[in-house]
Amino acid sequence: MASSFRQRKAKGSQAERELVKMFWSINWACIRSAGSGSQHYPSPDILVGNGSRRLAIEVKITSAGKKYFSAEEIRGLNYFSTKFGAEPWVAIKFQGKEWVFLTLEDLEETGKSKAVSKELASRRGLSFEDLTES
């Protein structure tokens, strides 16, 4: 049965909190965005910094074999990152797998949106350790 919007949102928040915890565990400061609310300014799901690098990250978790990113999400992430001064990244966790991190260039073009399959994630994705090593 398809999960409700509320359930998906709760799972999304939980996934973001998991990443926040991972970044703090290696001493990188990290915050979750409150979301756009009634105003529609672009904002990444989480924003991370370690004094020299800043990462703006869109976070996805899925039980499917492929996850899509809307053109709007990608455009917003790019725009925010350019203005703020951060590297745009996508974090994705497939069920039963570890987190992987991809740049926007690594995503698969699928017409109007972009996508990451399990196969693409394991081929091009960086692990948390790879992403954060100096």
Residues in contact with a copy of itself by the rule CB under 8 A? 13, 17, 20-21, 24, 27-35, 37-39, 41-44, 47, 49-52, 54, 80, 82-86
Q: Which is closer to a copy of itself, CB of 84 or CB of 128?
A: 84
Q: Taking the complex as a whole, how short is the minimal distance between the CB of residue 6 and a copy of itself, in angstroms?
A: 16
Strands 54-62 and 87-94: parallel
Tokens matching residue 9: 């949102």
Q: Taking the complex as a whole, how short is the minimal distance between the CB of residue 33 and a copy of itself, in angstroms?
A: 5
Provide the sign of the torsion angle of the four alpha carbons 75, 92, 28, 18, taken in this order: positive
**R_g over Cα of the chain:** 14
State how far the Cα of 74 lies from the Cα of 95, in Å rounded to an integer.
Answer: 23
Q: Taking the complex as a whole, how short is the minimal distance between the CB of residue 16 and a copy of itself, in angstroms?
A: 8
**Is 36 a residue of the active site?**
yes
Q: Which is closer to a copy of itself, CB of 85 or CB of 96?
A: 85
State how far the Cα of 49 lies from the Cα of 90, in Å rounded to an integer.
Answer: 15
Q: Which is closer to a copy of itself, CB of 77 or CB of 116?
A: 77
Residues classed as catalytic:
36
